[in-house]
Structure formats: structure tokens, C-alpha cells
Amino acid sequence: MDTVTRIPMTIGGATVASDEVIEVVNPATEAVWAEAPAASKSSVDNAFTAAAEAAPSWGRDETARRKAVAAVADVMTRNIDELADLLTAEAGKTVSDSKLEIQGAAAWFSYFADLDVPWRESIDPGRVTGVRRPLGVVAAITPWNFPLALAAWKLAPALRAGNTVVLKPSPYTPMATLRLGQLLQDVFPAGVLNVVSGGDEVGVAMTVHPLTAKVSFTGSVEAGKAVAAAVAPDLKRLTLELGGNDPAIVLGDADVAATAEGLFAGGFYHNGQVCGAVKRVYVPERLYGPLAAELARIADSKVVGDTRDSSTQLGPVQNVNQYERVRGLLSDALKDGAQVAAGGQRVGERGYFLRPTILTDAHAGQAIVDEEQFGPVLPLIPYVDLADAIRQANDTHFGLGASVWGPNRDQLEEVALEIESGTVYFNGHALNYGPHVPFGGRKWSGIGSENGLDGLKSFTHLQVLYGDVAV
Ligand code: NAD
């Protein structure tokens, strides 16, 4: 019996299959459980043509936009079980984490549906008026770690602002996004939201397509740079949300138990496969032993395994390449003198499982410290001098997030303002993101930011009208 799941694309309001497919692997079992269409060049063209044709009327009807964007939240909520099953099978999340992601995505749509947008603003009363206009067709490209949530970060503001969208999920995790596209076929007029799937080459075709007005891209630094180069000849608008190598700086008077709890949560949620996860921890020498021991205790207490079992806390690494990469970074660090305080081993015979790993005696110069590991291994780096820890934290091309840990708010802020990152958290890391809170990176971690009114404005241009125009 053929049990492979297949879900078609959504183009111009209709379902579209493809002769070519990409296989989707369940990282918990290593089995191919689904096939997604590999969009042909003509499918990509059709999606952009449909989006361009739908754009003028969609851009004019603010009432319809508000209603449809709100309806997405309802559709996601009503279909949460089915979407969570797909997400769990493709992304390796526990079922409860998949549901959390879907609830979060729904909250983004509700927020942007309700947002009071100043479409018109008086710049010079009676003489100059600014009007927020949509850009046109947005190419939205997402990675594999939060397929639905990161799609929501793009779709909700782009659609509410009056743009139409062609969305492409990662080839590792296309299924939940394809299903969402199908579920929304009755919510949006044909062509307003198109969902195509395929490999990186489909993403490339979207970034260079002549009908693309803006690319909203979330993914790796390497691909982000390629996207920036691809859009340059046509000066398309661009938002990039890229990788991070977030440092956590623990101050000398931090509470060891609470800090360890918070660091573990911020470093190992979804196995550390979070752009804004803690990826390296700077610890004063006096606290180094106790903090490492407490983190190791927490790591050893976690249940790793079957994502469908409600007692499981951590599932597998999402794909085999990532799994091999993280294990390679770990083994290189061990050869260079780092020590495993907890974890380090594979779990079971099948699936890309790795126990949450605390690495001590780590230092700059090891790839696990200098690069983005994006997996369940957290290096602890001892420091003597706080200024030197801050220097090391900044000695990177990344600049997404950072955190500072200690009891004194003034001192936390003093350190925070020295750190070159888009976000700094106090006594936590990657804390409950909200649709109203701007999120973006400095340096190679990104260009622009998402969320909130500013995020929505990045999907518009301000047209300036001169003359005696009433606001
Ligand atoms: P990736 O860059 O390999 O792929 C992301 C998406 O881009 C996929 O859909 C892929 O098919 C597509 N793509 C790849 N090359 C492309 C190209 N040249 N042109 C157009 N599209 C292309 O990233 P990934 O491995 O899927 O995701 C992990 C990375 O994403 C990590 O570095 C992580 O930190 C980053 N990330 C960043 C954020 C953020 O908000 N800053 C959020 C989540 C993930």
C-alpha cells in the first residue's frame, strides 16, 4: 500500500502538482514519508503572473484584507491537529512544540489583522500627504526550523499591507506549508497567496523573477548573500533574517541555578535549531564549575526520543546534513581539548538523535564557538575580565541576539549597550517573541527587521502627494 503523503502547490487559487518531486524525510525515523512537488520554471512563472494579476484589486480593498488575514488565524486554529502532525513528521518537533508553533503563527495573523495602520499621514498639513502603498508581489522564502511561524511573520504583514505573495518553504519541510496553502484557497481571492515548493533553485528563480517587487528571506548567511546579489540588478526591495551565533554573558553575581535553567531553555529549545538560540556562553571563572555542573544536570534529565510520545522533551536534529555537521563540530572541539560535561552520544539506531550536550573548556578558535552550530551542543567559555568577554562576544560577523545574566538591571543594560546585536535579553534568551516586537540582526545576521508596525511598513512604500490634499 502506498502510504506516502503528497500535497500539491497552490497557484492562482488552484491546486497544482508537478511531474518532478522532492522526497521528504522524517528525521525521527529516516523514512521518506512524503513527496512535495518540485516546481518547474513554468509553475514559478504562473505563480508570479497570478500574484501580479491579483495585486491591484487586493491592494485597494482594505476591508477584505483585514477580514481574510483574521480568517487565517481561524483556519490554523481549526486545523491545528492536522498541521501539527505534518510539522512533527517533517521538522522533528514534539507534537506539543508543533502546536505551539501553529498557535504562535495564528497569533501573528490576528495581530496584523487588528493592527491600526496609519495608511495616510499628514506631512505638511494641507499641503503634503504621505500614503502607504503596497509594493506588489512579494517572494517569501523560509527555512526548515519554524516553517509555519516564519511564514506567518512574512505573510501576515505583507498581505495586510496589500501585497500578494509567492511563498516557498524549505525542501526539508514543505508539507505543513503546502497544506496551509490548500486550506487558504477559499480565504483569499485567487492569486493573492501562492505556495510553491522545490529546492534552492526555486528560491533562486523567485529572487530573480521580473515580477518580484520584494524578497523577504529567512535562512542562512550564505544563501542570504546570494539573495542580496540576485536582487541587486533589479534593485528589488529586500529583508534578510539570517543566522546568528548569539553569545550569553554571565556576570559574576548571577544566580547559578536560575541562570542554568534559563540558558538551557534558550540554548536547547528545538535542539538549538533556532536562529536566536544561545550558541556560546561566557562564564566568569568563579562560577564556571558550578554552572557547568548545573547545566549538565539539567541536560542529563531531559527525555530525548519519539516525537509522538508526550513524555519526550527533545526530538531529533532536523536533517542528516545538519546532524553530521553538528557531530563534526563536536568531534573537532573534543580533539582540540574541549570536554563533554553532559551528552555527546547518539540516541538509538535510527533517527538523527543527539543527547543535549554541554561542552566545557571551549574557546575562540574552535569552530563550535566561532560558527553557528544550530544544534544541541552548547560551548561554555571561561573568562577573567568582563571587558574581554564582551570583546569576544562581538568578535564575529554575526549580530542577531545576545543575553546578559545577573541581578543588577543597570549593569545588565551597561553590558547590553556594548554588544553589537539586534536584540539583547536579560536573564533569559529568545524569550517569547511577540508580533508587536521588532526582530532583526546587525552585521551578517540580517538587513531590516520584521514584526510590528515597522515590519508592516517594510512591505510598503510611502508615496508623497503634494497639493491641497485633505488627510
Ligand atoms: P538555507 O539558507 O539553506 O535555506 C533557507 C531557504 O532558502 C530554503 O527555502 C532554501 O530552499 C532557500 N534558498 C537556499 N538558497 C537560496 C538562494 N540562493 N536563493 C533563494 N533561496 C534560496 O537555510 P536553512 O538551512 O533552511 O535554515 C537555517 C538557517 O536559517 C540558519 O542559519 C538560521 O540561523 C537561519 N534562520 C534565521 C532566522 C532569523 O529570523 N534571523 C530564523 C530562522 C532561521
Task: Answer yes or no: is pLDDT of 471 > 80.
Answer: no
Cα 264 to Cα 269: distance, rounded to the nearest angstrom: 8
Could you read off the pLDDT of 326-370 as tens digits, one per residue?
A: 999 999 999 999 999 999 999 999 999 999 999 999 999 999 999
Task: Kindly state the percentage of the chain with pLDDT values over 70.
Answer: 99
Quickly name the fold that domain 246-426 has.
Aldehyde Dehydrogenase; Chain A, domain 2 (3.40.309)
**b/e map of 270-285 (b: 16 or more CB within 10 Å)?**
bbbbbbbbbbbbbbbe
The predicted structure's pLDDT at residue 287:
98
Centre of ligand 1 from the C-alpha of residue 142, in Å: 6
Residue pair 75/213 in contact (Cβ under 8 Å)? The answer is: no
Q: Is 118 helix (H, G, I), strand (E, B) or coil?
A: coil
User: pLDDT tens-digit profile of 186-215?
Assistant: 999 999 999 999 999 999 999 999 999 999
Any idea which residue has 486554529 for its cell? 77
Cβ–Cβ under 8 Å, residues 212 and 33: no
DSSP calls for 395-441? SSS--SEEEEESS-HHHHHHHHTTS-SSEEEESSSS----TTS-B--
Pocket test for ligand 1, best of 218, 222, 225, 443 (most atoms within 8 A of CB): 218
Closest residue (by CA) to atom 42 of ligand 1?
275
What value does the mean pLDDT take over residues 22-47? 98
Gap from CA of 382 to ligand 1 centroid (Å): 32
Superfamily of domain 5-242+441-465: Aldehyde Dehydrogenase; Chain A, domain 1 (3.40.605.10)
Residue nearest to atom 43 of ligand 1 (CA): 275
pLDDT of residue 306: 87
Which pLDDT score, from 0 to 100, does residue 51 have?
99
Q: Average pLDDT for residues 167-172, to the nearest whole number?
A: 98
User: Which one of 138, 145, 168, 178 would you pick to mutate in the ligand 1 pocket, going by the greatest count of ligand atoms within 8 A of its CB?
Assistant: 145
Contacts of 108 (CB under 8 A, 6+ apart): 149, 152, 153, 156, 435
Q: What is the Å distance from ligand 1's center to 241 Cα?
A: 9
**pLDDT band for position 431 (cuts 50, 70, 90):** confident
Q: Residue 109 C-alpha to ligand 1 middle, in angstroms?
A: 22
Q: Report domain extents, the chain.
A: 5-242+441-465, 246-426
Q: What angle do CA 287, 341, 315 make, to 5 degrees?
A: 115
Distance from residue 218's CA to the centre of ligand 1 (Å): 5
Residues whose CB falls within 8 Å of the CB of residue 385, separated by 6 or more in sequence, listed in order:
none
> Could you tell me which residues come within 8 angstroms of residue 407 by beta carbon, excluding any fewer than 6 positions away?
253, 254, 255
Q: How far is the CA of 222 from the centre of ligand 1 (A)?
A: 8
Counting from 1 in the atom list of ligand 1, the atom nearest the Cα of 153 is 40
CA distance 140 to 240: 11
Supply angle C-alpha 267, 260, 299, rounded to 5: 65
Pocket test for ligand 1, best of 90, 154, 242 (most atoms within 8 A of CB): 242
pLDDT over 90 at 175, yes or no = yes
pLDDT tops 80 at residue 470: no
3-state secondary structure of 61: coil
pTM score: 0.98
What was the pLDDT predicted at 2?
Answer: 60
CA of 251 to the centre of ligand 1 (A): 33
Kindly give the distance from the C-alpha atom of residue 299 to the centroid of ligand 1, in angstroms, as a whole number: 28
What is the residue with the minimal CA distance to atom 21 of ligand 1?
Answer: 203
Q: How far apart are CA 366 and CA 379, in angstroms?
A: 10
**Nearest-atom index, ligand 1, CA of 450:** 40
* Nearest ligand 1 atom, CA 143: 26
> What is the C-alpha radius of gyration for the chain, rounded to an integer number of angstroms?
23
Atom of ligand 1 nearest to the CA of 215: 20
Amino acid 113: pLDDT: 98
Judge residue 240's burial from the number of C-beta atoms within 10 Å of its C-beta, 0-12 exposed, 13-18 middle, 19 or more buried: buried
List residues with catalytic annotation: 241, 275
Query: Can you tell me the mean pLDDT for 100-128?
Result: 96
pLDDT of residue 126: 87
Pocket perturbation via mutation, ligand 1, pick of 44, 108, 196, 200 by most ligand atoms within 8 A of CB: 200
Separate counts of helices (H) and strands (E) for the chain? 15, 21
CA 322 to ligand 1: nearest atom: 25
What residues does ligand 1 touch, defined as CB less than 6 Å away?
141-145, 150, 168, 170-171, 200, 203-204, 207, 218-220, 223, 226-227, 241-244, 275, 372, 374, 400, 441, 446
